[in-house]
Structure 1
Amino acid sequence: MALPRPVPLSGRAGVPPLASTIDASHAALGSFLQQRHWLRRTADTPVQLVHVPTQRPGPAFTGQHAATAAAAAPAAPAARATGPAAAGWWLLRDDLLHPVLGGNKVRKLDGLLPELVQAGVTDVVTCGGVQSAHTAAVAVAAAELGLRSHLLIRGEAPQVPTGYQLVTRMYGTHVSYVTRAEYADRAAMFDRRVEQVRQQDAAAKVAVIAEGGGDAAALLGLVRLSHWLLGAASTCGVGSSSSGGGAPGEQDARQLLPEGLGSSRRLVTDVGALPHPQSTPYRILVDSGTGTTAIGLAIGIALLGLPWTVVGIMLAGEESYYRSQAQQLLSSFLQRYGPELYGIGRAEATGLGGARGGSSTVGASATAAAAEAGGAGEASAGALPLQWVPRLVPRRFGKVFPQDIATCKQVAQSHGIGLDPIYSLSAWELACWEAQQAAVAAAAAAPAAGAVDAGMGGVTATPVVMLHGGGALGLHGLAQRYPGAF
């Protein structure tokens, strides 16, 4: 299944980089980020190289589960030692950021909650389903910051609270269950609850956090992540610019792989950073519910001028919904932060801001135009390095096929990585599929050298990246629905 390749970022109108070079844009964005308060001390995340077999699925694996079967099957050591048997793709382990919450929810709250604290907010109100990772994250983070949380849960209280529902009830100040009819009008539902909180405490300063964290301030944590991904290469000693032949990042991957990996059964390797970030056209795959994570990453990439593309896997709506969401969030983000961002870029480019890492300057007219566009929030979301694609096996949101749980178990046992069938499995399947396609093509183009190298045990590095946002606690709820599948 060949997915269409997006237009390269360079030259896109509407969301210009902060400066004329990537280094200068990185410095300008760093200045902006340093002036803000954050939930997490750093933006780092573990980066790993994942190996999956390149052999195409046999006749038994056709239709619905072809990609799933190939994605889950561990590569046999003997096969990997004889040729281009395995594809390598990069995994950002945001699922390891917090012992309870995972990653993408922490990223959204990273810049959002500190803004509320600075504004004097005492109470936060938000909503979600019974197994909502978002409400659990808000409950935990609010408790850590001394805020009261009021959590509106769609549907009836479960007889046995497990997973994210258990966390929500443990950490949430007030947990209420609302009917589906009431939940359908979220604005009215929020207004009623905010008024109730104010009646109970006249001194309360209440803020509403949108369902799933879909707010301009929630994008800050993802912009911060994109900034870290660019800078991590030099910090970890991994190449920051392209060099030599072979697949993108392959040379650095070979240097970081432990000796004798070709005969090892280990299929995941810690690498520290994405190699050659300024020149490699990475495709970052993100499973998308509200789409906020994918949109935030794409904005950060655009501000830095990187040749990367975010691929959002649509799980909860049609493409029209995600495009509308991207436009709304981008406009809100630029209206709120655009003048400051492009103002810093202009100051550093003209030598007024102490720019770090870049000697080139931006022309006054270009920078002024960028600042004006950013301040007005006029940029088109269609100009973002962002592509929306369906799941490899489309289904209504929340639908789980019997093979999905089996695949998650196989991946856990062969790779030591936990997935959930509703969200992260969709990105894993697509990452495996794209990496396999790229590795086979590379082997056909250069069978004796280049992208495939015996020093890597027949592993072909590809520019495919998956952002693993967590979601493991969701398995607890699924185990109640499908006890026999586990």
Structure 2
Amino acid sequence: MHIRPHLLLRGEQPQVPTGYNLISLMFGNVTYASRSVYAQRSQMLYDHAKEVAGPSGLVVCADDITDFGWQEPESSDASRKVVIVNEGAASAVALLGVIRLVKFLAESSSFGNGHQVHVVVDAGTGTTAVGITLGALLLGLSWKVTAVTLADTIEVYREREKTLISEFERVQKLDLPIQDSSYSVDRILNWVDRSQPRKFGKVLNGEIERCCKIAQQTAVPLDPMYTLAAWDLAASLSLDKSMNTEVLMVHTGGTLGMFGLAQRYPSSFSSNQGVTMLP
């Protein structure tokens, strides 16, 4: 099957693309959307999909695909089929991949066999956090999930959680315990604000340097937009001797964003900066 990706990126194409821009240009047909257009994500994606599909094409959303086939009328003569994948792959279909990750982790000696596990993950769209929660629920694991919110209020994330779970139940034909149960989504998943709230995309003083030091000391690459927030919370929880649980941080990526930050803050990546051991 031949699949041709079309990617919509917010902002303007840089003169010299690096990081996410470079990777996107390598693998997809990229269209740059103005910030005002990108603000209406759903409409933007649908309009672009219709344009790609053409007058006789078929446009569907990822959650409307079942059994890796297309839900289309038998009489459909669509010559081009286009599927819309939401920003951050925020869809019920994406949850299946995260649940598979949970199953893989649960089969290990460190996190399976009845282990008490506290999972920490950063939350862009929140899809990964919801997927981990559903995986723990479906597999009967003694896990707790804490998601550090990055781009919206906790109330917005909770609404998105309900939407994702509702779509997952519809697509998978399940009826999951959401609340009012000793073992439910509400008992497993907890949303918290990052320790230093800010507008998404803003970098605070010292954060890039901290990411560099953590990489030098642990070989774990972090970025200040996403994974640093989860790292800080996971590190704090791991020092709590009163907790009889394993602390597991799920690394969601984000490291390519450091390329853009290196252009904005070159002094933070000076080769002669010293290494100070973290406490």
**Structure 1 residue 470 corresponds to structure 2 residue 226:** no
C-alpha distance after superposition, 1:203-225 (max 9, x if no partner): 11011001110000000011111
1:297 aligns with 2:132: yes
Summarize the alignment of residues 21-420 of structure 1 with structure 2, pairs less than 5 Å apart: 146-172=2-28, 174-199=29-54, 202=57, 203-233=79-109, 274-275=110-111, 277-339=112-174, 373-374=175-176, 379-380=178-179, 383=186, 385-420=188-223
CA contact (8 A) 2:90 2:127 kept: yes
Q: Offset at 1:384?
A: 5.3
Report the Cα offset of residue 281 of structure 1.
2.1
- How far does the alpha carbon of each residue in 1:105-156 deviate from its partner, in whole angstroms, 9 at most, with x for none? xxxxxxxxxxxxxxxxxxxxxxxxxxxxxxxxxxxxxxxx731111111111
Larger relative contact order (Cα-Cα within 8 Å, sequence gap ≥ 6):
1
Deviation at 1:200, TM superposition (A): 7.7
Q: Secondary structure of the residue that 2:198 maps to in structure 1? A: coil
Bigger radius of gyration, 1 or 2? 1
**1:480 Cα shift?**
1.1
Deviations 1:28-59 (A, max 9, x none): xxxxxxxxxxxxxxxxxxxxxxxxxxxxxxxx
Task: Tell me, in whole angstroms, the C-alpha distance in 1 between the residues paired with 2:46 and 2:105.
Answer: 39
Q: Deviations over 1:343-383 (max 9, x none)?
A: xxxxxxxxxxxxxxxxxxxxxxxxxxxxxx35xxx845853
What TM-score do the two structures reach when normalised by structure 2? 0.81
Q: RMSD between aligned alpha carbons? A: 2.0
Q: Is the 8 A contact 2:129 2:147 kept in 1?
A: yes
| Structure 1 residue identity aligned to 2:212 | K
How far the C-alpha of 1:475 sits from its partner, in A, is: 0.6
The one-letter code sitting in structure 2 at the alignment partner of 1:224 is R
Are the aligned partners of 1:282 and 1:463 in contact in 2 as well (CA < 8 Å)? yes
Contact 1:299-1:384 within 8 A present in 2 as well? no
1:173-197 Cα deviation digits (max 9, x unpaired): x211112222222232223212211
Structure 2: which amino acid aligns with 1:405? Answer: I
Structure 2 counterpart of 1:337, one-letter code = Q
Measured in 2, the distance between the counterparts of 1:283 and 1:183 equals 35
Aligned residue pair count: 244
Cα distance, 1:394 vs. partner? 2.0
Query: Shift in Å at residue 473 of structure 1?
Result: 1.2
Structure 1 residue 430 displacement after superposition: 0.9
Report the 3-state secondary structure (helix = DSSP H, G, I; strand = E; otherwise coil) of the residue aligned with 1:279.
coil
Shift of 1:327: 0.5
2:247 is equivalent to residue 432 of structure 1? no
Instruction: Tell me by how many angstroms 1:399 deviates.
Output: 1.5
Unaligned runs of 5+ in 1: 1-144, 234-273, 340-372, 443-460
Task: Report Cα offsets for 1:4-48 as digits up to 9, x if no partner.
Answer: xxxxxxxxxxxxxxxxxxxxxxxxxxxxxxxxxxxxxxxxxxxxx
Distance (whole Å) between structure 2 residues aligned to residue 469 and residue 188 of structure 1: 27
Q: Which has the larger share of helix?
A: 1
